[in-house]
Amino acid sequence: MSIFICPVCGKKLGISGKSYICGGGHCFDIAKSGYVNLLTKASSSEVHGDNKLMLRARRDFLEKGYYSPLRDALCRSAAALAGEECVLLDAGCGEGYYTAGLAEVLKNAEIYGVDISKAAAELAAKRRCGAEFAAASVFHLPVGNDSCDMLTTLFAPYAGAEFQRVLRPGGFMLMAIPAENHLWELKMAVYDTPYRNQVSDYALDGFEFIGEEKLEWTMLLSSNEDICSLFAMTPYYYRTGRRELERLGGIAQLEVQADIRLLSYRRR
């Protein structure tokens, strides 16, 4: 039985043939790629994440290994915290790069991924990594109460109330956030007056902070394609004017620092 629940009535969903069906008779067809669309009318009115072009650019960028230190650290932490039987939810999974990495390490785990972008859920499902993927908002998770042993959220919106709801008491959350100097050289190359990232207090309501892992490495981006792909992965992309984007398009090579914190929490 899947941990997914019906977004209409809240009853458990089970897979029957090529559909998810709940006890209330609501049916959600599984796309050819393997994901299911569980977006409600409320969540459908929200911004639906990155488009296909941006997601493919991000997929290609990540597959070149630029962010492999983060994926490796995430997998190590997840493996250290996971029990013999683990149900893991990747909340805001994107195109599935980190979800697939977790599936490779946690062989016996049940792994699920959700993203508000249907295009992201589709690309993630096409990885065929053994996880179940759904298009859904992290603020309206179609996931049962206390159904997850672990939750990962990587550069994704923080939905604290929902994360507490779906995690069992004592369950773990792994969160990746940009630290002060993350991508500083890229911002310097694009903006006249760049600013460093503001890092908030690590304390979160309902969670016990366990610890942090500081991840710092240097990336040599040897093509403008990779530079633009990295920039498109950031929130700055949506707030950048034409002049700055033209400046971005003229950068042929760039050495840039990754500065990330991987935070570990336990649900109280």
What's the pLDDT tens digit per position in 48-100?
Answer: 567 888 898 899 999 999 999 999 999 999 999 998 899 999 999 999 999 99
Residue tagged 């994901």 (tokens): 35
Hey, CA dihedral for 188, 190, 195, 198, is it positive or negative? negative
CB 49 within 8 A of CB 137: no
pTM equals 0.95
Of 222, 175, 218, 174, the residue nearest 199 (C-alpha): 175
Sequence spans of domains, the chain: 1-30, 35-267
173 vs 266: CA distance, rounded Å: 6
Provide the 8-state DSSP code for 91.
E
| Residues 112, 92: Cα–Cα separation, whole Å | 11
Domain 35-267 classification at class level: alpha beta
HSE (side-chain half, CA atoms, 13 Å) at 213: 18
> pLDDT category, 109, cuts 50, 70, 90?
very high
